[in-house]
Chain A
Amino acid sequence: MTEPGFWRQAGEIARKDLMIEGRAGEALYITVPFGAVALMLIPLAIGTDKPLLATVGPGLFLAVALLFGMLVAFRQTATDTPPQRELLALLGTDPAAKFVGRAATSMLLLLAFQIVLVPVTVLLYNPGRMDRWPWLLVVIVLLASGLSLVGTLAGSVTVGLKTRSTLTPLLVAPLSMPMLLAASQVVEALRNGSSILVWILLLMTIDIAMAAIGVSTANPLEESSI
């Protein structure tokens, strides 16, 4: 029997991860409400002045999407226990395919996370309609993929460590800064009618760079003894 190809393996891993997450429901029942609470808390801290909130609303959505969304990438079900890892290794799974599959699931969950929080943001902050707003969907997709790639990478580097739950966010947060900047600049450009092309390209470049690093370092990482 021929060995399944790279994409087939990645697809199976993604499917398995989605199924497990479907049962655990961490992203849906825990992280999404957490993000919603964050969006609610912030006006209590910065002021509930309506024009202020309308201005900062989209930016805060992006900040919450990144800072709280990254928790989706290091959810409990995204980590393999040693027996699971051994099983995958025995099956001859390509570590790079494992990375891609895992990142793909995280991306889908992050997409869902953001999409649920969009109406919450609109309700709480009332940002007002924007021309060319469908581009925001493109931004959300690019952000979801970039964050899932960085998050999966950071997650695989902190496997088995006691300080994992605090260390991984510390690693991801500064690395997400260019993504956040690019995304918020798209929003700004949409608002004042200028070109968004360069920022979209920047987001795509980040995604490609992170994917390349993740795939190429998956094999060396696999030999980890923990």
Chain B
Amino acid sequence: MKRWNVALNALAVVAIGVGFSSAVGAPAERTQGDFARIMFVHVPSAWLAFLAFGVTLAGGVIWLVSKSLRWDRVAGSSAEVGVFFTALALVTGMIWGYPVWGTFWDWGDARMMSTAIMFFVYVGYLALRRSIPDRETRARRSAILGIVAFVQVPLVYFSVNLFRTLHQGATFSGPDSPIDEGFVRPLLINLAAFTLVYLAFTASRTRLASIEDDFDEAAALADIELAGSGITEPNLGGESNDE
């Protein structure tokens, strides 16, 4: 593994440790007590999911412009890590929700709804990538889907928000409700830690994708050679015209 990769991974681990200790050390919250500590892992997960899908959009667009496959690999890897963080955000959101709402799911929560829809949209994105063996076609179609997928994010968020304000009114306490001053620092520390984890995962995943692509390309070339090398020059005797 390249040196900076190892360094990034180590840094991410350290940062998570720092994040964890800051989460433990934070004073109990005014209204929710210890329970609000779930926010330190829920909010960064949701943030990183959005960031990851933004990178997927950017990677796809840059590929469309430059045709450099590296950006497509970044887009695909970021989507995979993004789905990972989306799952985390959903699970932690539901763990929060159950004691607070009495159910795992609140239909009026715009952010959870957006996150859930995005989960399925990007699972579809990954399924599309998996279905296309040809690199360039995969890159092209993924880029288009990446654009459509990301445009959905504000649409879903806005529509569910509208739904909620018309039905339940603006007051509502969920995993993302406003917080105490003393909570901001551990939140930011964990946000930074999760960002490092995202970078470490995405960098590794991109590199693995690059190695995989090289293998596939070599295998394809080897196949071509094999097909041609079965035919040998007929030996008719006499002088060869080749030098």
A and B touch in the complex (CB under 8 A): yes
What is the interface of chain A, defined by CB distance below 8 A to chain B? 150, 153-154, 157-158, 161-163, 167, 170-171, 173-175, 177-178, 181-182, 185, 194, 198-199, 202, 205-206, 209-210, 213, 217, 220-221, 223-226
What is the CB-to-nearest-CB distance from A62 to chain B, in angstroms, rounded to a whole number?
14
| 30 sampled A-B residue pairs with Cβ under 8 A | A150-B148, A158-B131, A158-B141, A161-B128, A161-B131, A167-B131, A170-B124, A171-B128, A173-B120, A174-B117, A174-B124, A177-B117, A178-B159, A181-B159, A182-B159, A185-B162, A185-B166, A198-B162, A199-B162, A202-B155, A213-B148, A213-B151, A217-B144, A220-B140, A220-B143, A220-B144, A221-B144, A224-B140, A225-B137, A226-B137
Q: Count how many chain B residues have C-beta atoms less than 8 Å from C-beta atoms of the other chain.
A: 32
- CB-based contact B128/A220 at 8 Å: no
Query: B residues within 8 A CB of A226?
Result: 134, 137
In the complex the two chains form, is A158's CB within 8 Å of B124's CB? no
Is B84 interfacial (CB-CB < 8 Å)?
A: no
A198 to B163, CA, bound (A): 11
Closest 8 CB pairs of A and B: A174-B120, A178-B159, A171-B124, A157-B141, A178-B155, A161-B131, A174-B121, A217-B144
Main secondary structure of the interface of B (DSSP, over half): helix
Chain A CB count within 10 A is highest, among B128, B134, B143, for: B128
B7 at the interface (CB under 8 A from A): no
**In contact, B158 and A202 (Cβ under 8 angstroms):** yes
Q: B141 to chain A: which residues have CB within 8 Å?
A: 157-158, 221, 224
CB-CB under 8 A from A206, the residues of chain B are 155
Known: A161-B131, A161-B132, A173-B120. A209 touches B159 (CB 8 A): no
* A-B contact sample (11 more), CB < 8 A, given A178-B159, A202-B159, A224-B137: A150-B148, A154-B145, A157-B141, A167-B128, A167-B131, A174-B120, A177-B117, A178-B155, A185-B163, A209-B155, A226-B137
Any chain A CB within 8 A of the CB of B214?
no
Give the distance to chain B from A24, nearest Cβ to Cβ, in Å.
25
Question: What mask results when residues 122 to 159 of chain B are scored 1 for a CB within 8 Å of chain A, else 0?
Answer: 01100110011010110011011101110110011011
For B159, the chain A residues whose CB sits under 8 A away are 177-178, 181-182, 202
* B209 contacts partner chain A, Cβ-Cβ < 8 Å: no
CB of B188 within 8 A of chain A? no
> With the chains together, A158 CA to B151 CA distance in Å?
19
A181 near B160 (CB under 8 angstroms)? yes
Is B148 within 8 A of A175, CB to CB?
yes
B137 near A167 with CB under 8 A, answer: no
Tell me how far the C-beta of B169 lies from the nearest C-beta in chain A, rounded to whole angstroms.
14
Are A177 and B156 in touch, CB under 8 angstroms? yes
Q: How far is the CA of A213 from the CA of B148 in the complex (A)?
A: 7
A224 to chain B: which residues have CB within 8 Å? 137, 140-141
B64 at the A interface (CB under 8 A): yes
Is there contact, CB below 8 Å, between B131 and A217?
no
Task: Please tell me if the beta carbons of B145 and A171 are within 8 angstroms of each other in the complex.
Answer: yes
In Å, the complex CA distance between A74 and B118 comes to 22
Q: How far is the CB of B115 from chain A (nearest CB, A)?
A: 12
Contact, CB under 8 Å: A202 / B162: yes
Whether the pair B128, A223 counts as a contact (CB closer than 8 A) is: no
Q: Are the C-beta atoms of A170 and B144 separated by less than 8 Å?
A: no
Residues of A within 8 A of B152 (CB): 174-175, 178
Pairwise interchain contact B162-A170, C-beta atoms closer than 8 A:
no
Report whether B124 and A167 are in contact in the complex, using a CB–CB cutoff of 8 Å. Answer: yes
* Cα A226 to Cα B132 with chains together (Å): 10
Among residues of B, the one whose C-beta sits closest to the C-beta of A171 is B124
Q: How far is the CA of A62 from the CA of B159 in the complex (A)?
A: 17
> How many angstroms from the CA of A132 to the CA of B31 in the assembled complex?
46
Nearest Cβ on chain A to B106's Cβ, whole angstroms:
15
Find chain B residues with CB under 8 A from A194 CB: 166
- Bound-state CA distance A14–B156 (Å) is 30
How far is A40 from B143 in the complex, measured between Cα atoms in Å? Answer: 40
Contact of B128 among A150, A157, A178, A225 (CB under 8 A): A157
Inter-chain contacts of B118 with A (CB < 8 A): 174
- CB of B155 within 8 A of CB of A223, answer no
